[in-house]
């Protein structure tokens, strides 16, 4: 059964970003998680990104997300240098929630990701963008590099804490994660690589 939930916010954001980011639900759709710089009516919540949860009882503040610690002096450029939450991931049973934020420098370089991970063991920040497996045990972490191949990937076991970097094939293209859930419940990751123009090609790669 689908239920309509009315979201009541007051527009108090000082930055003209879109109002809602990264809507995500567990498999039963019982709750919707999303990020917003807006605040609940009558509250004194900060403007910078927060994670909300909406269900049949209404909307509540789930977490005030910590600001990223940007490892750069390139932090004075104004609009394009602000931190936003790009996507939210929820495990199928709702036990694990991950919100990934992004910071972009003035010239669209120095891209940095940080993820706030919340599960039964507590809350922690992970450097990089994070995608959860459906069951919530594994995650693939994506970090931006300043030179080729521009992105690095690793599989993180959230149960044991073990992290294993993914060794990518030596191809002249940009590797990226494939699909909304690029990591399976057994830790297998699907990546893709492609080029455009004359001689364009597309490759798929499974890391297990």
Taking only the tens place, the pLDDT of each residue in 130-157 is: 999 999 999 999 988 777 777 889 999 9
* Per-residue confidence (pLDDT) for residue 197, from 0 to 100: 61
SS3 102: strand
- What is the reported pTM? 0.76
Nearby residues of 170 by Cβ (< 8 Å), 6 or more positions away: none
Give the Cα separation of 185 and 1 in Å (integer).
27
| Confidence label for 180 from pLDDT (cuts 50, 70 and 90) | confident
SS3 113: strand
Give the Cα separation of 28 and 95 in Å (integer).
12
């Amino acid at each position: 059964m689908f239920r309509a939930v009315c979201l009541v916010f007051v527009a108090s954001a000082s930055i003209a970003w879109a109002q809602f980011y990264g809507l995500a639900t567990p498999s039963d759709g019982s709750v919707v998680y999303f990020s917003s710089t807006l605040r609940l009516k009558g509250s004194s919540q900060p403007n910078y990104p927060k994670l909300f949860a909406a269900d049949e009882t209404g909307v509540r503040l789930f977490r005030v997300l910590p600001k990223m610690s940007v490892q750069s002096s390139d932090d004075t450029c104004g609009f394009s240098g602000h931190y936003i939450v790009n996507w939210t991931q929820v495990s199928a049973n709702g036990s694990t929630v991950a919100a990934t934020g992004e910071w972009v420098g003035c010239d669209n370089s120095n891209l940095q990701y940080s993820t706030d991970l919340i599960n039964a063991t507590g809350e922690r920040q992970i450097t990089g963008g994070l995608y959860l497996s459906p069951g919530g045990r594994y995650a693939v972490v994506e970090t931006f590099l300043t030179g080729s191949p521009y992105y690095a990937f690793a599989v993180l076991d959230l149960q044991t804490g073990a992290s294993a970097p993914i060794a990518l094939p030596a191809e002249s293209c940009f590797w990226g994660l494939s699909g909304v859930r690029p990591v399976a419940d057994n830790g297998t990751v699907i990546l893709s690589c492609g080029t455009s123009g004359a001689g364009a090609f597309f490759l798929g790669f499974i890391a297990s």
